[in-house]
């Protein structure tokens, strides 16, 4: 996607999301960490107050946020800007 690229008008939201490079979802997972104690491989523990947000297509991490954080999907943001009047 080139920044400043004009989207083709009168296309379904899914087509415009793909054109804009926003055709992926934000997924979440618990925060886990490995300790150096216990077994030779360490012990895997969870941090219950946070979650990791990551991209569905590349699995690249986006952020660590609190459990109360509400995810807004890229397509929802695109829809807001395209159809607000």
Q: Which residue has the higher pLDDT, 83 or 1?
A: 83
The SS3 call for residue 13 is helix
Domain ranges (residues) in the chain: 13-83
Give the CA distances from residue 16 to residues 11, 31, 33, 39, 58, in Å, rounded to whole numbers and listed in that order.
Answer: 6, 33, 38, 50, 20
Q: Compute the distance between CA of residue 80 and CA of residue 85 in angstroms, rounded to an integer.
A: 9
Confidence bin at 21 (pLDDT 50/70/90): confident
Enter the DSSP assignment of 80.
Answer: H
Distance of alpha carbon 47 from alpha carbon 45, whole angstroms = 7
Average pLDDT estimate for 60-82? 93
pTM of the model: 0.76
């Amino acid at each position: 996607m080139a920044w400043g690229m004009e989207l083709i008008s009168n296309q379904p939201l899914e087509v415009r999301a793909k054109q804009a490079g926003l055709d992926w979802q934000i997924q979440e997972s618990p925060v886990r960490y490995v300790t150096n104690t216990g077994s030779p491989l360490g012990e895997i523990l969870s941090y219950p107050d946070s979650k990791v947000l990551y991209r569905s297509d590349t699995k690249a991490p986006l952020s660590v946020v609190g459990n109360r954080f509400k995810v807004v999907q890229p397509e929802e943001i695109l829809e807001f800007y395209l159809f607000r009047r």
